[in-house]
Every structure is written in C-alpha cells, then in structure tokens.
C-alpha cells in the first residue's frame, strides 16, 4: 500500500493501468489497495473515469534522509503507523537500544497526551515526535525539563511562521486560547541513578479539520495560511531541542526560568489548578527555579509541581 501511496503523493492523476504496471499487479488489485488506503489511513482519493486516481491533496511524507541532512544530531526512525511514538521509544529502550534516538510516525493509532487523554493523530498531517535520552545522575537532571522542551517547541513554531505561539504551564503550547502542541515526558529506569526519559511532542502541523478533539485547537497551516514542510519542522525542532537541552544540562533550569516566564501566556491570570477531583483557585505569579507553579491562593503564595496537575482559566479571569 505504501508503494502505491508514494506513486500518488504528488496529488496528480494516475491511471489504474499505469499504477498497476508500476506495482506489477492488476488494475483490480490496484483498486483494492486504494480502498485500503482510504479505509486504513483516512485518505480521500478522487476517481475520475478516463483520468484515473488522485489524492484530494498532495502528501509530503517524512524522510529520515532529508531530516538527517538538516539535523544530524540523533538517529531517526520513521514509522508509517504505530500505536504511539512514546510507546515505541519505550519498547526500544527495553530492548537495549542506545539513546539518544528519535522516533517519528506518519500516524498514531493510540496517541496519548497527559492524564491519559487521546491525541488525535491523522496520517501525514501532523508531527508525532519522541526523543529518547539517557540520564545519568538521577532525577535532579530532569528538574524543569518539560518546561525546557516547551521553550524549544515555541522557538521552532515561531521559526515556522507561528509568531504568537506561547506557553501554558506545565506542558502545552498555545496560540491565544487554542492548543497547537503538547508535551508528554515518560521516565523509565532508576530515578536515583541511570534512567531514560522519552520527550514526546505532538504538533498540529497541516491539520485543518479534526473530529474527536475535546478542546480548542489550531495548527501551523491554519495560523500561517500555508502548508508546512514537516521534514524541515522536524529538523528545526531537533536543532532547538539540542540547544536548549545543552543549556539545561550545563546550567540547570534556573538559567532558563526568566525566558520561560516571558513566554508564559497565563501570567497574572486567575486559574483553577486541578489535581484529581480537587480544584485550587488562585492567581498565577510565575514559576520557581525548579519549574514549579507559583500561585497566590487566598492571599498566600504557594508552589505546586507534579505530572498529574492541570491548569484551567477561571470564568472570572
């Protein structure tokens, strides 16, 4: 099927006979494969008598060779379809793969965000990106790391035409009130010694329509008005991550605290902090030098941190 998809990805019409000749199969077999492409990948294929078959829009598939030319830091594996890139990276670590390495996919069948949320992952439209890193020296090396990843994502988005991207504590990237990217970090190993962390990043790139998304969202294409080259975006994101991770490793999160605060969209806003079934209302004062959220609650400053916390604007904000 993917050989057929590569023949069709230019968005032009191709006759069934030409496709069959290229694939060494009959025209009826071509038709069956086209039906599979539509059913399995959710692609729309136009069929016009006398002209042949055409994808409703051209596809630009991820190319590890092209990515490596622009960003050679880490070995890259691209999957056509995977349950989730984070899950695949974790499996590779368990099987002894040497980090760092990067896992990408054209589609996720079970993409997930923080707090177990589903991450909508249509084929060849967005970026599903997981970077596996080895961490020596224990959990302290991870302090504020998810916020540092957010800075890298924001810079990559701005360099890709989304000038007003900003951060929402702890792991979201927004344009105004709309989500454009999310971050999910997962840790395996000994948190007191040698461990691995997977930096999972999902970015809405060329998506224009989506079903099943339970919050306001946008994409690079919707914001910039033009299609984005995902290979160039992967390279830009990898270059930004490499720079920010090196700063974090050398000087800790405190060295990036001010920059993160400058990019925080909800500074000074009235919010509700959600932890399980409990809600804590307060006003955002900023973050501390470990990446914890500083809130003014009933006139008193309190600091909150943890992977299962979520922030919402209050109605009176």
Q: What is the pTM of this model?
A: 0.89
189 is in an annotated binding site: no
Residues 124-169: pLDDT tens digits?
899 999 999 999 876 777 889 999 999 999 999 999 999 999 999 9
Interaxial angle between packed helices 27-41 and 16-23, expressed in degrees from 0 to 180 and rounded to the nearest 10: 90
Q: Is 312 one of the annotated active-site residues of the chain? A: yes
Confidence of residue 317 (pLDDT cuts 50, 70, 90): very low
Give start-end residues of each CATH 3.30.930.10 domain in the chain. Answer: 64-261
Residues 107, 168, 179, 221: which is the catalytic one? 179
pLDDT of residue 91: 97
Give start-end residues of each CATH 1.10.10.10 domain in the chain. Answer: 2-55
Q: Is 49 one of the annotated active-site residues of the chain? A: no
- For the domain spanning 2-55, the CATH number is 1.10.10.10
Residues 107, 114, 168, 230: which is the catalytic one? 114
134 is in an annotated binding site: no
70 is in an annotated binding site: no
How many angstroms separate the CA atoms of 240 and 140, rounded? 22
pLDDT of residue 278: 85
179 is in an annotated binding site: yes
113 is in an annotated binding site: yes
Residues 184-225: pLDDT tens digits?
999 998 877 889 999 999 999 998 876 666 678 999 999 999
Confidence of residue 119 (pLDDT cuts 50, 70, 90): low
How many angstroms separate the CA atoms of 203 and 157, rounded? 9
Residue 227 structure tokens = 């299609």
- Is domain 266-313 given the CATH code 3.40.50.970 in the classification? no
77 is in an annotated binding site: no
Q: What is the mean pLDDT of the chain?
A: 89
86 is in an annotated binding site: yes
- Is domain 64-261 given the CATH code 3.40.50.10490 in the classification? no
Residues 27, 47, 312, 314: which is the catalytic one? 312
Give start-end residues of each CATH 2.30.30.100 domain in the chain. Answer: 266-313
How many angstroms separate the CA atoms of 297 and 194, rounded? 37
Q: Is 51 one of the annotated active-site residues of the chain? A: no
Residue that wins the pLDDT comparison between 140 and 226: 226
């Amino acid at each position: 099927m993917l050989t057929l998809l590569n023949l069709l990805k230019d968005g032009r019409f191709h006759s069934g006979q030409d496709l069959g000749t290229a694939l060494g199969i009959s025209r009826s077999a071509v038709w069956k494969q086209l039906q599979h492409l539509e059913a399995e990948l959710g692609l729309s294929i136009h069929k016009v008598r006398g002209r042949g078959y055409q994808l409703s829009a051209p596809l630009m598939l991820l190319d590890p060779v092209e990515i490596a030319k622009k960003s050679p830091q880490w070995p890259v594996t691209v999957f056509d379809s995977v349950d989730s890139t984070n899950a695949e990276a974790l499996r590779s670590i368990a099987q002894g793969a040497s980090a760092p390495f990067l896992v990408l996919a054209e589609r996720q069948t079970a993409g997930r965000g923080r707090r177990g949320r589903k991450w909508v992952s249509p084929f060849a439209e967005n970026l599903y990106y997981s970077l596996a890193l080895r961490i020596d020296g224990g959990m302290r090396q991870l302090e504020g790391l998810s916020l540092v990843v957010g800075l890298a994502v924001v810079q990559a988005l701005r360099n890709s035409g989304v000038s007003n991207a900003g951060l929402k504590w702890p792991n979201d990237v927004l344009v105004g009130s709309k989500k454009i990217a999310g971050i999910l970090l997962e840790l395996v190993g000994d948190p007191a010694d040698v461990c691995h962390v997977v930096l999972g990043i999902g970015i809405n790139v060329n998506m224009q329509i989506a079903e099943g998304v339970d919050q306001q969202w946008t994409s690079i294409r919707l914001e910039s008005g033009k299609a984005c080259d995902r290979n160039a975006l992967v390279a830009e994101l990898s270059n930004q991550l490499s720079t920010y991770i090196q700063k974090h490793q050398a000087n800790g999160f405190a060295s990036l605290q001010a920059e993160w605060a400058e990019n925080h969209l909800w500074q000074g806003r009235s919010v509700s902090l959600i932890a399980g079934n409990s809600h804590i209302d307060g006003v955002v004062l900023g973050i501390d030098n470990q990446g914890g959220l500083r809130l003014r609650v009933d006139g008193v400053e309190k600091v909150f941190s943890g992977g299962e916390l979520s922030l919402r604007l209050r109605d009176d904000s």
